[in-house]
Amino acid sequence: MTEIRKRRSRDPAATREAILEAARTLLAKDGPEGISLSEVAHLAGVNRGTAYQHFETREKLIEATADWVSQKMFRAVFGDPETVGERRVEQVDISDTTDRLTNFAMDNPELCRIWLLQLLSSPEPTADPFWREYEGSLQRFANTELAQEGVDAEALSVLMLAGAFLWPVWARSHARSDSERRALAHRFAQEALRLCMYGSMQSELFPQIAERLGKTRGKPTTIRAAGG
């Protein structure tokens, strides 16, 4: 343990990452009320003084962990934050983005739960990078001729994200094999796309999505969500 701590002390970035990983684990397990810098330091394999050097207070650690989770989600769903802003709405692959979101949620339910709970308790949720990009991208889409008139981007964002993050809990993703998780993620993605395709999108402008949805019509469900 001493050698690990010495090695980490020479690499502040790696030490910070270890602390955030530990904080994420405890947040997922016990929530914000059950986290302390001492416990996080112990789990991260660093001394308490080192943890305080990186995060002066428990509140700052929780805030930084939520932001760290948000950045991970951002990269998984949208890609590199440095380049995502350069893409036009018309160039975004809606099917791929939906698949990325549902697969990430299915594989990382604890991260999504942390993010959602912190967002709900935040005094300024619009400052969150992931939310800002997700809701912002839907708003930009709603402002184009690709969308139906009157789309409420904020309400649609809450609807889609809440569903995507609740589905893994309902489907008991922690007890599933990788192939089962992929199948369950695909099920949710299909219905999310169907909801958007015939609710907020000008469906005739998206023949590829229509084809994808048509291929699954009438097929039996092989993976049940709850109860196996």
Tell me the per-residue pLDDT of 68-99, one tens digit each, with 9 for 90 and over. Answer: 889 999 999 998 887 776 667 777 899 999 99
**pLDDT above 70 for 218:** no
Q: In the prediction, which pLDDT does 122 show?
A: 83
Confidence class for position 224, pLDDT limits 50, 70, 90:
confident
Q: Does the CA dihedral 212-87-145-156 come out positive or negative?
A: positive
**Per-residue tokens: 156:** 């649609």
Helix locations, the chain, DSSP H? 2-9, 12-30, 37-44, 48-54, 58-77, 81-84, 94-107, 109-121, 129-142, 153-170, 178-197, 207-215
Rounded to two decimals, the pTM is: 0.81
- For domain 58-215, give its CATH number from 1.10.357, 1.20.120, 3.40.50, 3.40.190: 1.10.357
Q: In the prediction, which pLDDT does 212 show?
A: 94
Give ranges for CATH 1.10.10.60 in the chain.
Answer: 1-56
Q: In the prediction, which pLDDT does 2 show?
A: 41
Give ranges for CATH 1.10.357 in the chain.
Answer: 58-215
Q: Compute CA 92 distance to the chain's CA centroid, rounded to the nearest angstrom.
A: 18
The reply to whether CATH 1.10.260.40 applies to domain 1-56 is: no
Q: 153: Cβ–Cβ under 8 A, 6 or more apart, which residues?
A: 135, 138, 139, 141, 142
Q: What is the pLDDT of residues 22-65, one digit of tens each?
A: 998 888 887 788 788 999 999 999 988 999 899 989 889 988 88
